[in-house]
């Protein structure tokens, strides 16, 4: 596992890095839809816009479902079986809803809520259907920024693999940015092409351990394609320059 940024000293120049928040806000004001975002710099400093606005998570909640499943007493201390992977891989890599429902039925509400408490998600609200569960940009960005804290060590590698191997058809928005030397680990959520919900949450990581987490949450767009263009425009401006 790569050490969590914020616990290990990094290059001094990264301490002063910040996203281009003003440029992103100027851009989003030219677009339809409701937008909130949160960016965590390598040392964990928050830069956001309406970042505590609660929104339905849609499939973004699947990252929490994955962590909750891997933390269960019946799973955490053993190797994963083919049956485990047959649920987890489709749920994360191609956002399979049936797999998510199966896992939600297994982990139960109290385990999800315990994860939320452990991650200090004070605004998180679990409900069924699971896609209607709510949270906000800063809570989700912080969760992904330090996701290894919430997954048993023996399962960290598999969780990271899944979050970095999303199918190509879902690599829109933030995931479509070209950032040499940085890998992107993420989960998206959207509303069947309607534009009602369009989110991506994840982190960029470099070989030296530098990490930047980002969450962009969009609701009320005219269409999914419109929302993905908005997301890409915001992300491109926020992350125009990465830490050196």
Mean predicted confidence (pLDDT) in 231-237: 98
Is a pLDDT exceeding 70 seen at residue 10? no
Instruction: Assess contact for 174 and 232: CB atoms under 8 A.
Output: yes
pLDDT bracket for residue 15 (50, 70, 90): low
Mean pLDDT of 56-70: 98
Question: Taken in order 59, 166, 174, 153, is the CA torsion positive or negative?
Answer: positive
Compute the average pLDDT of residues 31-45. Answer: 97
Q: What 8-state DSSP symbol labels residue 236?
A: H
Residue 1 pLDDT level (bands cut at 50, 70, 90) = very low
pLDDT of residue 193: 75
**Which tokens belong to 219?**
């609701």
Residue 7: pLDDT over 70: no
Give CA–CA dist 95/21, Å, rounded: 30
What is the rounded distance in angstroms from the CA atom of residue 197 to the CA atom of residue 95?
15
Alpha-carbon dihedral angle through residues 51, 56, 57, 61, given to the nearest 10 degrees:
120
- Which residues neighbour 123 within 8 Å (Cβ) at sequence distance 6 or greater? 52, 54, 134, 135, 136, 139
Torsions phi, psi of 172, nearest 5?
Answer: -105, 180
% of the chain exceeding 90 in pLDDT: 91
CB 71 within 8 A of CB 151: yes
List beta partners, residue 47. Answer: 39
Written as six digits, the tokens of 51 are 């970042």
Taking 90 as the threshold, does the pLDDT of residue 4 lie above it? no
Instruction: Say what the pLDDT of residue 13 is.
Output: 44
**Domains and their CATH numbers in the chain:** 12-238 (3.40.710.10)
pLDDT in tens, 180-233: 999 999 999 998 778 999 999 999 999 999 999 999 999 999 999 999 999 999
């Amino acid at each position: 596992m790569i050490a969590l940024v914020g616990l290990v000293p990094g290059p001094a120049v990264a301490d002063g890095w910040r996203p281009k928040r003003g440029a992103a806000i100027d851009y989003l004001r030219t677009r339809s839809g409701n937008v909130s975002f949160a960016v965590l710099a390598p040392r964990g400093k928050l830069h956001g816009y309406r970042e505590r606005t609660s929104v339905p998570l849609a499939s973004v909640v699947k990252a929490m479902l994955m962590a909750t499943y891997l933390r269960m007493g019946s799973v955490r201390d053993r190797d994963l079986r083919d049956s485990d992977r047959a649920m987890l891989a489709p749920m994360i890599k191609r956002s399979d809803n049936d797999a998510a429902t199966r896992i939600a039925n297994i982990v139960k509400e109290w385990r999800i809520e315990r994860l939320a408490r452990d991650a200090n998600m004070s605004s998180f609200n679990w409900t069924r259907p699971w896609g209607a569960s709510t949270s906000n940009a800063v809570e989700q960005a912080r969760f992904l920024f330090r996701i290894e804290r919430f997954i048993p060590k023996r399962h960290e590698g598999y969780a990271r693999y899944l979050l970095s191997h999303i199918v190509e058809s879902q690599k829109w928005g933030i995931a479509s940015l070209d950032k040499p030397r940085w890998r992107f680990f993420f989960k998206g959520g959207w509303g069947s092409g309607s534009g009602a919900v369009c989110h991506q949450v994840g982190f960029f990581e470099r070989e030296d351990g530098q990490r930047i987490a980002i969450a962009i949450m969009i609701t009320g767009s005219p269409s999914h394609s419109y929302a993905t263009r908005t997301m890409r425009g915001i992300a491109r401006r926020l992350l125009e320059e990465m830490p050196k």
